[in-house]
Structure 1
Amino acid sequence: MPPSPDSPQSSKHFSMIRGFHLADFFTLGNAACGVAAVLFAMLYIDSKAAAHFFSSAAMMAAAFVFDVLDGHIARWRRQHSTLGRELDSLADILSFGIAPAALGFAAGLRGGWDWLALIYFVCCGVSRLARFNITAESLSAGADKVAYFEGTPIPTSIFLTAVLALAAWKERLDDNLYWGVWTAGPWELHPLALLFVLSGTLMISKTLRIPKI
């Protein structure tokens, strides 16, 4: 039975929502788009309907817009919090880590080496976000935002989504994926999966420094 509006449990729930800033709701929009992207990718595997594939890619593009807006809104309103930072990281791993990997799998990256490439990519994204969270204060040096990123930001994986969307538009999915398929040992590798390896590696680089705009 759900708690009544006057119960202590209900009060706690509303208290948490009241603790959200405007930017946090845009961050939740990012997360919602990421979940939708994964679900559309799953639908594509079952239906093979191009509309589902493009909808998945579109949800990641929408997540990117929400991600840009939440940062701008937080700085505009000067509302920064640990909760907001953690929300942002969790939303980003959904929309720019798990979702691109799911779309890649749906596109046909299903060989054994492809699996490892996709898993590596997501793990790099998780590691990159965790590192950013623990170093954000020292990197910002008292400013409103960090001056630069160590490694590429995880939203740059939108490039992978664009490549997959282009492949779908050109009808180059599944057995027709760009660059074909290689057999290495017991498993297959689609060279396209190496783009995920490259993206993940750039994310965890400590020597690559990118100014934050």
Structure 2
Amino acid sequence: MAVKEQQTQKRKSPEGKRERFTMIRSFVLADVLTLLNGACGSGSVLSAMQHLITQEDRWLTLSMALLPLALVFDFLDGRVARWRQKSSSLGADLDSLADVISFGMAPAAIGFAAGLRGEIDVLLLLFFVGCGISRLARFNATAVAMSDQSGKVSHFEGTPIPTSVGIVVVVWILHGLGLTGESMWLGSASVFGLAIHPLSLIYAASGAAMVSTVRIPKI
């Protein structure tokens, strides 16, 4: 609440009148990198959808290739903000929203496009996305409490959401070996009449790790 009041006060003129918030002018270089992260994630989702329509492998490959690039932009935005010692009031929110797309929704879309389309598969993919959203919300809510005197966060609680790129790498390798789609690695099974591919359990494990209380030192 205090942070919001301070931001409101900053947007008031000396006469006490509320100034118009100029979003574009408030952007800094770090925000541009964050938006590029989100653009890569969005492009990944759209490419996965295109693969489902055309069944052309190049679209699924592009979808997976965009996420390591998103990870690079996610790494750079924080480094650039600290290097330039300049950040905007939108920075933290932009970062979380971009990460939800790039490292939450996009990996789930890739799994779905690669063949994880059984009923239980879909439930596990939704669980994974929900855990990613919850992980980011918890970090935003507790970042101040976990930060040291310099304002830096010393550790993460639960695995960071960008670790989901590891799942994409696994799917990428399996796809290259021809072990996705109808030839899915480990095959499929039926639980109470509902289809599941064992590979989808990797998404469930990743989601559970994100919302766990395990402390991960921040590098």
Report the TM-score when normalising by structure 1.
0.91
Alignment correspondent of 1:46: 53
Structure 1 residue 12, shift from structure 2 partner? 5.7
Structure 1 residue 82, shift from structure 2 partner? 4.4
Go from structure 1 to structure 2 and tell me whether the alpha carbon gap of 1:19 and 1:82 turns closer, same or farther (over 3 Å shift): closer
Alignment correspondent of 1:110: 117
1:130-170: CA deviations, max 9, x gaps?
Answer: 00001111111332421000000000000011011111111
Q: Is the 8 A contact 1:113 1:188 kept in 2?
A: yes
Instruction: Identify which range, 177-186 or 134-143, moves more after superposition.
Output: 134-143
> Which residue, 122, 126, 137 being the options, matches 1:130?
137
Show structure 2 runs of 5+ residues with no match. Answer: 1-18
Alignment correspondent of 1:160: 167
Q: State the alpha-carbon separation in 1 of the partners of residues 188 and 157 from structure 2.
A: 33
> Which residue, 189, 198, 202 being the options, matches 1:191?
198
Matches within 5 A, 1:1-213: 15-206=22-213, 208-213=214-219
Go from structure 1 to structure 2 and tell me whether the alpha carbon gap of 1:81 and 1:144 turns closer, same or farther (over 3 Å shift): farther
Q: Is the 8 A contact 1:183 1:189 kept in 2?
A: yes
Instruction: Identify which range, 89-98 or 49-58, moves more after superposition.
Output: 49-58
Q: State the alpha-carbon separation in 2 of the partners of residues 132 and 138 from structure 1.
A: 10
Q: State the alpha-carbon separation in 2 of the partners of residues 68 and 101 from structure 1.
A: 21
Q: Is the 8 A contact 1:43 1:52 kept in 2?
A: yes
Q: State the percentage of identical aligned residues.
A: 48
1:26-60: CA deviations, max 9, x gaps?
Answer: 00000000000000000111112111111001111
Structure 1 residue 81, shift from structure 2 partner? 4.5
Show structure 1 runs of 5+ residues with no match. Answer: 1-10
Q: CA RMSD in A?
A: 1.4
Q: State the alpha-carbon separation in 2 of the partners of residues 145 and 91 from structure 1.
A: 21
One-letter amino acid of the structure 1 residue matched with residue 82 of structure 2: R
One-letter amino acid of the structure 1 residue matched with residue 70 of structure 2: A
Q: State the alpha-carbon separation in 1 of the partners of residues 34 and 76 from structure 2.
A: 9
1:76-95: CA deviations, max 9, x gaps?
Answer: 11224441011000000000
SS in structure 2 at match of 1:183: strand
* Superposition misfits of 4+ residues, deviation over 2 angstroms: 79-82, 141-145
Work out the number of aligned pairs and report it: 201
Instruction: Identify which range, 100-109 or 138-147, moves more after superposition.
Output: 138-147
One-letter amino acid of the structure 1 residue matched with residue 111 of structure 2: G
